Structure 1
Amino acid sequence: MRTATDTPDRTKPARVFFALWPDAGTARRLDDLAAHTHASCNGRRMRRDTFHLTLAFIGDIPRERVVDLITAGDRIPAAAFVLKMDRIATWRHNRIVWAGAREVPEALADLVARLNVVLVEAGFPVEQRKFAAHVTLLRNARADLASDEIDPPIDWQVGGFALVESDRREDGAHYKLLKVWTADSPLKD
């Protein structure tokens, strides 16, 4: 796995976030759902390799601060849990179609809360609005959905979380996993 120090251009800020990253089977199911939804909503489908659920968006930071984020992530236990993706909806204001869970598992809510605490302690700003667990499927959707139910639901077997760097390009964002914490990762004090 590449680390933050492998980045060739150390003068360019790093655009980073913490996220849940789906396994191949979950990504395939999300991609199938995006294809099905695209048929009725149009818009721009997200690439399968970009599906994720943002836990905490950090934004642009100096590259030397990435190590502070890794240290913060090292302080959080990565839990294994099932995220039942059973809802699909549209945010009309920005024309995004997303998949999510009607009920956020306690383990996910706890992960986000712990992450926010260590980020604040490390001097990073955190979102003040309520956490919205979602995976973006389409951007620039041109129609509303006929139903808000994912049937059958997607049972995402979450096994950890990641620190991700986003590289914006003409064909959309490309992501690099800077560090992954798994449910069996040892904690650092």
Structure 2
Amino acid sequence: MRCFIGLDLSVSNKLALEQWRNKALPDLPSRTPAPAKGSRHKVSSAAPPAAVAPANFHLTLAFLGQLDMRQHEEVMARLDEVRQPPISLTLDTTGVWQGPKILFCAPHNVPDELYELVRQVTKAARQSGIAIERREYRPHVTMLRKASAALPPPLYPPQIACNFDKFHLFESVSSPHGVSYPIRHSWPLIPNLSVRERLRRGLA
């Protein structure tokens, strides 16, 4: 199975992001216009930008790739040991990456708790024999694919406050209808509580 570890946005966050995209981004062309009769100019073969389905909005923590049974069982056991408090952030900036050709939303201020969660998740994966790319972590939610440099910027930035109390193992599933990311397992993000409060809640 092809998997990644990530944070899932709430339904209200996904709807708010979709509404922002509909208002802040210009209309996307549905097709490339045909050239005028007798014109020598070729029609561009570049595909128009494609909107990501709101159901697929998420923040990736670590991409695991294709897992065999042993890797899957081992990383699940190691992720059981991750201990981190809930995370809050605001999606309030945007950008375009020319390599993967995506337009994304991201937090301007990244909380330390998110970086620490990524560190623990990445460590668990590597200890399970899973190769994780060594690159700077930049949290983002992909909004458009096939976004070229010619794409006009959003009319205004988003302002979406997000709260996460779980992280998840997602599977990437491709079908004739597109790609989907079903959640296969979840782990709680537990607040930093006193021993007495943890005992009261049955967390210790």
Give the alignment's TM-score, normalised by structure 1.
Answer: 0.82
Identify the residue that residue 100 of structure 2 maps to in structure 1. 94
SS at match of 2:157: strand
In structure 2, the CA distance between the partners of 1:187 and 1:134, relative to structure 1 (3 Å rule), is farther
Query: 2:4 corresponds to which residue?
Result: 17
Select between 53-62 and 65-74 the one with higher mean Cα deviation.
65-74
Q: Which amino acid aligns with 1:27?
A: K
Q: Within 2, Cα distance between the matches of 1:29 and 1:165? A: 24
* 1:3 corresponding residue in structure 2: none
Q: Counterpart of 2:164?
A: 158
Distance 1:88 1:50 in 2: 18
Query: Mean alpha-carbon deviation: is it higher for 47-56 or for 70-79?
Result: 70-79
Structure 1 residue 62 and structure 2 residue 68: aligned? yes
The one-letter amino acid of 1:82's match is: S
Partner of 1:136: 142
Unpaired stretches in structure 2, ≥5 consecutive residues: 30-48, 192-201
Matched residues, number: 174
Q: Distance in 1 between matches of 2:22 and 2:75?
A: 35
The corresponding residue for 2:111 is 105
Specify the structure having the higher radius of gyration (Cα).
Answer: 2
CA contact (8 A) 2:6 2:61 kept: yes
Give the SS at the match of 1:150. coil
Give identity over the alignment, percent.
Answer: 24
Compute the RMSD of aligned alpha carbons.
Answer: 2.4
Equivalent residues of 1:74, 1:187 under 8 A apart:
no
Q: Which residue type is aligned with residue 137 of structure 1?
A: M
Counterpart in the other structure of 1:46: 52
Alignment-derived partner of residue 169 in structure 1: 175
Once structures 1 and 2 are overlaid, which stretch shifts more, 86-95 or 21-30?
86-95
AA aligned opposite 2:75: L
More strand by share: 1
